Amino acid sequence: MVRTIIFAVMLVSATATFGADRTTKVRELMEAQGLLAMFAQQMELGAQQGRAQANQMLDQMLSSLSPTPEFAARFRKASDNFIAALSAPWSAQDLVDQWAIAYGVEFTDQELDQLLKYYRSPLGKKDVLVTQTALPKLFAYLAERSKPIAESATRKYIADLDSIAKECNCRK
């Protein structure tokens, strides 16, 4: 019985280490392929666009109002809530984890090592540059997938602003 428990603990420990090693290799591969930087850049761009959209809508709303400082703070809070609602529910690490599952499982450790060697070579680096021209298509897909999130958040944001404006009773 004790041997079985020891064996089970060793097996679980080895499996966890194997998984961490593979995820690390896939992450290194994604870095060599230039994917991590592009994913992070796209996520930041989306966040910037959301902030710009919220600020534009808030400025438009406030141009027709003369709110007290208290209500101005509430409008700003509603804007901050809108920006938070637009945030992608996934992180760059989530993408790495999903890529490790969808992509990494198809390769052995030796194959991952060979891929890393390739992507660090001159030809691999060229491949990365070519891939970067194809990624806008992927980003268009992500934008389309994020669209319902943004639309829902926008509806709630506008309703929140309208509610505050009615309570404020500060139309010009």
Q: Would 12 be classed as within a structural domain?
A: no
Distances (CA, A) of 98 to 50, 91, 92, 94, 164: 25, 11, 10, 6, 41
Q: Would 151 be classed as within a structural domain?
A: yes
Tell me which of 10 and 158 has the higher pLDDT.
158
- Digit-coded pLDDT (tens) for 22-72: 888 888 988 898 877 777 777 888 888 888 888 888 888 888 888 899 998
Q: Would 1 be classed as within a structural domain?
A: no
What does the block give as tokens for 82?
Answer: 């809108």
Q: Would 163 be classed as within a structural domain?
A: yes
Mean pLDDT over each residue of the chain, to the nearest integer: 81
- Digit-coded pLDDT (tens) for 96-155: 778 778 888 899 999 999 999 999 999 999 988 887 787 778 878 888 898 889 888 888
Q: How many domains, the chain?
A: 1
Q: What does the DSSP 8-state code read for residue 90? A: -
Q: Which residues lie below 8 Å from residue 54, measured CB to CB, with a gap of 6+?
A: 79, 82, 83, 86, 157
Domain span at residue 44 reads 19-168
Q: Would 10 be classed as within a structural domain?
A: no
- Digit-coded pLDDT (tens) for 114-128: 999 999 999 999 988
Q: What pTM, to 2 d.p., does this model score?
A: 0.52
Q: Would 13 be classed as within a structural domain?
A: no
pLDDT at residue 7, as a whole number = 41
Measure the CA–CA gap between 129 and 95, rounded to whole angstroms: 20
Q: Would you place residue 18 in the very low, low, confident or very high pLDDT band (cuts 50, 70, 90)?
A: very low
Q: Would 8 be classed as within a structural domain?
A: no
pLDDT at residue 11, as a whole number = 39
Q: Which spans in the chain are helix H?
A: 2-33, 35-62, 69-86, 92-102, 109-119, 122-168
Q: Would 146 be classed as within a structural domain?
A: yes
